[in-house]
Every structure is written in structure tokens, then in C-alpha cells.
Structure 1
Amino acid sequence: MEISGIISAIIIGIIIGVLGRLVVPGRQHIGIVLTIVVGIVAALVGSAIAAGFGVADTKGPDWIEWFIQIALAALGIAALDRSRGRR
């Protein structure tokens, strides 16, 4: 992966992580770094899932791919928040 791909993955991860955090109701007890990491992972996994279903390459914005990525980020943030809240 080239440096431009890494930078774009980080930027998309930030956006996906923040949107995923906004979807989860209530206050989350995880930091911004974990939010970004969850967003990056959700963006990569969501892109793979969207490519598997054949919805990744459409004309215009890939709304279904974005929805999958945000849903995965919200699930990841909720799971991390739940695991960190028990401590």
C-alpha cells in the first residue's frame, strides 16, 4: 500500500469512526484514537463486504458501502464501549 492509500484510509477511518460514534446513543467511554482505529477497520471490512456483494463500484456515491461501514463502526464502538464500561 502506498503512502497516499494509507493517508486516505486514515482520513476515511476518521470520518467513518466519528459517524459510527454519532449513531451509538449515549456517552461512549472510549477515546478518539480507538474511535479512529475502529473507523479504519470498519472502512476496510465494509469495503470488502460491499465488494463481495457487488455494490462497491456504482456510479456516483456508494451509499450502500458507506452504510455498511458506518454500521460496522457503530457495532465496533458499542462493543468496545461495553467491554470498557465493565472495568
Structure 2
Amino acid sequence: MGWLWAIIVGFVLGLLAKAILPGKQHSPLWLTTVFGILGAIAGNAIAEGLGVAETRGIDWSRHAFQLVAAIIIVFLGDRAYMALRGGTKRRA
């Protein structure tokens, strides 16, 4: 069941990151989900390192780290995706 939650959280984080970032992101939905999963993993690691991964109630700080990490990973991942695809379309 843990992998299912990872996919759901990654999907939500990826979509939130895409909504927050300005402009259009070109990466497909499956790749955005993967970026969101990576953001959740990175955010958990940062929260664990700072000692705020487990708190009473809702772990708002951990979720904030996950979202910030997802935003950074979606941004960089989309840049890498476009670079591998040949960049953006040029206007005539």
C-alpha cells in the first residue's frame, strides 16, 4: 500500500508544483508524477535532517519541505526534459 500512497502524493505534489510555477511546463503527466514523488522523498529527507519529520498532529513543516522540493524538481526536470527533446519551439 505504500507505493500507492507514493504515487498519489507524487501526483498531487507534481500538480501543485506545476500550478505554482509560472509559465507552461512541457513534461508529461507521468513524468510530473515522478518529479512529485522525488520531491516528496527529498522533502522527507530534509525534514528528517532538521528534526521536524515527526510532530504531533499534521506535519505542516514536512509537507512544506515536500512542496518546495517538488517545485524545484519539477522546474529543473522540465528544463532537462525540454533540453533532451530539443528545446522549445522557435517562433518564425
TM-score range, shorter chain: 0.7 to 0.9
Structure 2 length normalisation: TM-score? 0.82
1:23 paired residue number? 20
> Is the contact made by 2:35 and 2:77 (CA closer than 8 Å) also made in structure 1?
no
Residue 7 (structure 2) aligns with: 10
- Structure 2: runs of 5 or more not aligned: 87-92
- How far apart are residue 78 of structure 1 and its match? 1.0
Measure how far apart 1:82 and its partner are.
2.0
Higher relative contact order (CA 8 A, sep 6+): 1
Give the whole-Å Cα distance in 1 for the aligned partners of 2:77 and 2:46.
21
- Give the alignment's Cα RMSD to 1 decimal: 1.2
Identity of aligned residues (%): 39
> Which deviations, in whole Å up to 9, do the C-alpha atoms of 1:17-68 show, x marking residues without a partner?
1111111111101110110000011111211111111111111211111111
Q: Is the Cα contact below 8 Å between 2:15 and 2:32 reproduced in 1?
A: yes
Moved over 3 A (4+): none
Deviation at 1:79, TM superposition (A): 1.0
Q: C-alpha separation between the residues in 1 aligned to 2:65 and 2:10?
A: 13
Give unmatched runs, 5+ long, in structure 1: none
**What number of residue pairs does the alignment pair up?**
84
